[in-house]
Amino acid sequence: MPCNLRTPAPALAALALLPALAWGQVTVKPDGQWRHLFGLAGSHASGNTDSSSLNLSGDSVRATEVDRLSLLARALYARNEGTTSANRGVLAGDYNRDFSRYWFGFGRGEFVRDRPANLARRFAASAGVGHHLIRDDNGFWDVSVGLGYTRDRFVDPVEIKGRVRDTYSRPELVLAEESNLRLTQTTSWRQKLAVLPNLEETGTYRAEFDSAIAVAVTQRLSLTAGFAYRYNSDPGEGVRRGDSLVTTGVSLRMD
C-alpha cells in the first residue's frame, strides 16, 4: 500500500506551481514480459526566488494470466531559499496472484525515507485478499483487505502513546480500492485509495489517495496530470495532518 507523506507545506506549494512528474501508467499485458516506465522532471529559479527541484520515477511490471509483479522507485528533492524542503525516497514491490477470475491474493513490501518529515526510514509489509469488481479489456477496479506491519525510525524522537520514542512499530489493517480504466482510445485514468487503521491505538489511522489521468501523444509518450493526498490522524507535534500535491508532466513507456 502506499505510504504516509509528510512533505512540508512550503514545498508542496512550490511544487504545485512547477512542472513535475505525475503518476505515470506503465503498460500491463499478460504475456510474461517486463515493461517499464521512467520519468525525470526538474526546475530551477534564481533572482527574487531561489528554488530548485528534481523528481525521478521508475516503474516495472511483469504480468501473466494469473499473477503480476510490480516494482517502483520514487525520489523527490527540493530546495527553497537555501533550505531543503523535500528529500523523499520510496522503494516498493507488489505481488498479486489470482485464485479465480475475480479473487486474488496480494503481498507488498516498502521502504520510505523522508527526513524533512522526521522519518529517517520506514519498513512496511502487508498481505491480504482482494476482489476484481471490474476486469475486462478496458481495465480493472479492485477492492482489497489485509494486515500489515510498519516500523518507523524518526530523525528526532517524538512522543507516542505517552512516551518519547525514536522508533515505533505497529500492526495495521489495510483497506483499499484501486482502478485503472481506459476512458477513450487515447485517455486513461487511474486512482487508488487506502485507509490504514492502527490496530494498537483505536481511532488512529493513515489515509492515502492518488489519482492521475494520462492522454497519449504518441504510442510511448503521454501528457499526465495527477493529484495526491496524505492524511495522518496523529502525525506528531508541529506536523499538519493532511498534505496535498498537484502535478503535471509527461511519461515515457518502454514496452
pLDDT value, residue 131: 97
pLDDT of residue 138: 84
> Looking up cell 490496530, which residue turns up?
199
Give the number of other Cβ atoms within 10 Å of residue 82's Cβ: 7
Q: Which amino acid is at 84?
A: T
DSSP 117: G
Give me the pLDDT at residue 146, please: 97
Containing 59, the helix (H) or strand (E) segment is strand 51-63
* Residue extents of the structural domains in the chain: 9-254
Q: Which CATH architecture has domain 9-254?
A: Beta Barrel (2.40)
Per-residue pLDDT of the chain (255 residues; tens, 9 = 90+): 333 333 333 333 333 333 333 345 677 788 999 999 887 776 677 666 677 877 777 889 999 989 999 999 988 888 887 888 778 888 999 999 999 989 999 999 999 898 887 889 999 999 999 999 998 888 889 999 999 999 999 988 888 777 888 998 999 999 999 998 889 988 989 899 999 999 988 889 989 898 888 888 888 888 777 787 878 887 667 667 877 766 667 778 887
Pick the closest to residue 192 from 178, 180, 174, 206 (CA basis): 178
Long-range contacts (CB closer than 8 Å, 24 or more residues apart) made by 124-128: 124/1, 124/3, 124/148, 124/149, 124/150, 124/151, 125/149, 126/1, 126/172, 126/174, 128/174
> Smallest Cα–Cα separation from 58: which of 30, 37, 75, 83?
37
For position 43, what pLDDT does the model report? 67
